[in-house]
Chains A and B, each alone.
Chain A
Amino acid sequence: MCRLFAITSEQPLSPMVVLEALDVMREGHDCSGVGLFLRDLAGPFEDMKDAPILSGIFSDAGLKRLDAFMMDIGFMTKYKITIKVPKTPPAGVPKRDVYLIRAYEYPEEWEEFSQKELYDRLLSLRLKLRKMGEEKEDMIVFSFWPDVIMIKEIGDPTQVANYLQFDRQELHARVIMAQGRQNTNYAINLYACHPFFIQGFSTMTNGENTAFVPIKEYLTSRGFEGYTGYQSDSEVFTHILHFMMTNLGLGVEAYKHVITPLQDEDLQSHPDADLLRNLKRSCRPLIIDGPNCVIGCLPDHSLFMVQDRKKLRPGVVGGKPGMYAFSSEICGLDAAIPYRDKSKDFQPMHLDTAIVGPDRQEVRICSQINPLPPALSA
């Protein structure tokens, strides 16, 4: 099963902290790949929080096509990180031309757009680039979003990290999520690597979701162009989160009520029974069938973790004010934040959602049997 690690810290951290945590959990994954999600960036991106950053992998030809394409729309490069890699990649890592992390300046006419329109256009553009890349196999695009960087690559996570110099100052961030892959497919498609991202929401999952096909069919039939891809059965978790928060206006506290709704007896005695019963019915095709543990990041930089009742080995969250981490295994947490009050470590059970808000001061646990926050139940 894949191993997951996420950390949020007041002080910017090097992604190496997370990679080391993955490394101590390496028994659980086969080192077939790594995915990295960085947000609340420090370094040079600190001062350009609004500029959309394009992350991806390009061939030289692809880069040329990208430049022409972006130029055409009016996007100007504002800043870029150039990753100069050694001539020969480590064993198992493919040779690539360019790992791209580039912040753009919006075209002038985009400045009048409402936030929603802006977000929709950014999404559209990312999908378009992805499609162009798939046609000629010359670009892979992970994210195109302000204050977010994503890097994914095949190979041993530690070796990839060294090869791509993850410890460089420019990649320091306050929120970092990473996954060490356990490969279940023969040919690894980078679009199947976690974390997944859509319009500011990102999640990564371990486990298998057997209800994947009906969920995928439901999402793709929502008429929203972003609900596409699905090279991995875990991508639906990100999209469900996005659907629930943007389309239904619900908070993260309701996420579990959508993917793993309460069973009838518990539902009946819940103070928000009426709302939850309706939610359970109308979102029935979004009910997952795990075992799954999901770690996610919200646009406000909160991190959270949930699991379903079939997950026998729950993940863990722990830390200290100012720095908290979510991990598939306790040893990962120990590696990243050794000096913490371990008695406060928390393993969310099947009813719990563990949330660390943007202030990073505490772990908030909300149980599915608790009343929903007033804004939702009103």
Chain B
Amino acid sequence: MFSNKPVTPSTLSVKDLPWQILWNKDKCNLCGQCTAVCPVNAIELGVFRKKFIEPPVGLDINGTLACDYKLYYGIRQKTDPAYKCVGCAMCNMVCPNDAIIPCRSDEADKLRFHMDRGGQPRRRGGRRNVSDGILDRIKFIRISMLTDPALDAGRHEFELRTLLGRVLPPDKNLKFVQQQGWIPPVREIYPLIIGGMSFGALSPTMWEGLQLGVAYLNEELNLPVRISTGEGGCPQRLLRSRFLKYVILQIASGYFGWDEIIHAIPDMKEDPCAIEIKYGQGAKPGDGGLLMWYKVNKLIAAIRGVPTGVNLPSPPTHQTKYSIEESVAKMIQSMYMAWGFRVPVYPKISGTSTALAVLNNLTRNQYAAGLAIDGEDGGTGAAYNVSMNHMGHPIASNIRDCYLNLVKVGMQNEIPLFAGGGVGKTGNLTANAAALIMLGASGVQVGKYIMQAAAGCLGSESDRCNICNIGLCPKGITSQDARLYRRLDAENVAQRVVDLFLSFDTELKKIVAPLGRSTSLPIGMADALGINDRNAAERLRINYVV
């Protein structure tokens, strides 16, 4: 830009952007790999003109200064907001000479004020851009010492499974066993569940990798891991396979893919693990699901039963029902009916200060098989920035309140609670999961951690990458473009899924063994928890330790 040209309000400099590309002319060999790989075309080939002044040797007062212009080629960063660098660092990854790297701006960017061109607020994928959380601050303080021996995490036997399903109170349960009454289906599953990420939001290779990994964990390693489909249906081949039993089918307000699922019921060899009715999602509470048109190709359209190339927003609520209580009750019941009352059905809501009221309803609904709560730190493939950053309820106190309420009414074993949203967001997956379990969750759901650990997702709380919504995922995780998703190998993903579950399992034992726990998952063992914040301790009813 020339200095005498007018500037518009949205004319930005590189400095105004969140990420600046540092390019080293000495190292660059001009191969063009970086510009080719950049998912958002933030960089381009630059032609630079540079003036050289070369005074002649010796003193010649009449002579003129020798001056010359030379051209050189290099990388130029665009400053148009539409082509802003997202910091994914793919350019850095492909550069053979390490000549290029994105750097985070040293101050808050100005770009954020110009992300609403055409009056369209910013939308993105990813998670809330806040990096800390209470879960990391919770410690496990009740270490078995002289009065009771701690256990050997490596050698002891551990029962770490959890229950998904409505558990009857013992007296009723025994009576029903004797009288052959209807006992609601209950699944014994691993307490770490892969949370709902849809086929569509995820690429085919990513989906296949996850399913492969889950099948391997179940069939070869005897770890009953379950995975939720998210809202987007389920490929026919999986619906008709024996692996369906490892899958939690999610139904959400757009009912995408459910025509296909219902039609496949007669051909199903196995019942699905459970049905999750999605009422809300932590990343964008009160907002429906959203698959943007970029990602709706032929395959996705077929699975979801829609035309290609259209935006697929789900309504914020289930539209077919009149009142929410009725909706929950009827949806749950119809889903039970569809599988002959053999499959547990439970709702998933976003974390909210009204979670107790929801739970209250469920306690009185004899079919409700659990409640999944997704806290404010949950991730998503596409949402408005404002929803992601500012809406929702933290998971810790939501789960704790719900659990303590169940204790109050004596139903803590009857309706299992599942917690999600930011579990392991700083990498401490096991510690976060164990903390939530001891606060009262029967298990946890994870999504982002799986994407990061199993597929190398680049997203972060400092707004790195997070372009999952536009189908340009540079890792091929959330793209439907074969050129991109071919970068991801399903078997490698599966291998990583297995790795991460095995290491989680070891770490979980390393947490529960010193607490002297091995015979059952320590749900609600809040006496083991401590935190160095008096208010948080009081709020969560755990120990205050400094």
Contact = CB atoms under 8 A, between A and B. Distances in A.
A250 B171 CA distance: 10
Contacts of A287: 519-520
A210 B518 CA distance: 10
A278 B174 contact: yes
A293 interface: no
A91 interface: no
A294 to B, nearest CB: 15
Contact of B410 (A184, A221, A278, A282): A221
A213 B168 contact: no
A213 B525 contact: yes
A308 B168 contact: no
A282 B173 contact: yes
Q: In the complex, which range does the number of interface residues on chain B fall in?
A: 35 or more
A74 interface: no
Contact of B170 (A213, A282, A310, A378): A282
Contacts of A184: 147
A289 B524 contact: no
Interface string A192-225: 0000000000000001101111100110011100
Which of B151, B409, B516 has the most A CB atoms < 10 Å from its CB? B516
A344 to B, nearest CB: 31
B171 A207 contact: no
Contact of B159 (A210, A263, A281, A288): A263
B105 to A, nearest CB: 48
A218 B413 contact: yes
A291 B519 contact: no
Interface string A263-291: 11000000000110011011111011111
A247 interface: yes
Nearest to B157: A263
B517 A211 contact: yes
A4 B527 CA distance: 28
Contact of A214 (B170, B516, B518, B523): B523
A290 B520 CA distance: 11
Contact of B163 (A279, A284, A290): A284
B177 interface: yes
Contacts of A275: 174, 177
Given A211-B519, A211-B525, A285 B413 contact: yes
Given A208-B516, A218-B413, A247 B173 contact: no
Contacts of A223: 410
A308 B148 CA distance: 13
Interface residues of A, number: 38
Contacts of A307: none
Contacts of B178: 378
A287 B517 CA distance: 11
Given A218-B413, A221-B409, A210 B523 contact: no
A223 B169 CA distance: 13
Contacts of B37: none
Contacts of B306: none
Interface in B120-159: 142, 144, 147-149, 151, 157, 159
Interface string A327-344: 000000000000000000
A1 to B, nearest CB: 8
Given A221-B408, A278-B183, A282-B413, A210 B517 contact: yes
Nearest to A222: B410
Given A208-B144, A213-B527, A281 B186 contact: yes
B524 A213 contact: yes
B522 A211 contact: yes
A31 B73 CA distance: 88
A194 B144 CA distance: 22
Contacts of B149: 291
Interface string A313-327: 000000000000000
A310 B516 CA distance: 10
A365 B519 CA distance: 23
B310 interface: no
A318 to B, nearest CB: 27
Contacts of B522: 211, 214, 289
A260 B519 contact: yes
A73 interface: no
A275 B173 CA distance: 9
B473 interface: no
Contacts of B170: 247-248, 279, 282-283
Interface in A213-256: 213-214, 217-218, 221-223, 247-250
B525 A285 contact: no
Nearest to A276: B177
B522 to A, nearest CB: 7
Given A247-B171, A248-B174, A274-B177, A210 B407 contact: no
Contacts of A283: 170, 413
A149 B167 CA distance: 40
17 contacts: A184-B147, A208-B144, A208-B147, A211-B522, A217-B524, A221-B408, A247-B170, A250-B174, A275-B174, A278-B183, A279-B170, A281-B186, A282-B413, A283-B170, A283-B413, A288-B519, A291-B148
Sorted from nearest, which 5 A-B pairs have the closest CB atoms?
Answer: A208-B148, A221-B410, A210-B516, A282-B173, A282-B170
Interface of A: 184, 207-208, 210-214, 217-218, 221-223, 247-250, 260, 263-264, 274-275, 278-279, 281-285, 287-291, 308-310, 378
Given A217-B412, A248-B171, 11 more contacts: A207-B148, A211-B517, A217-B524, A218-B410, A221-B407, A247-B170, A275-B174, A278-B174, A278-B177, A281-B173, A282-B168
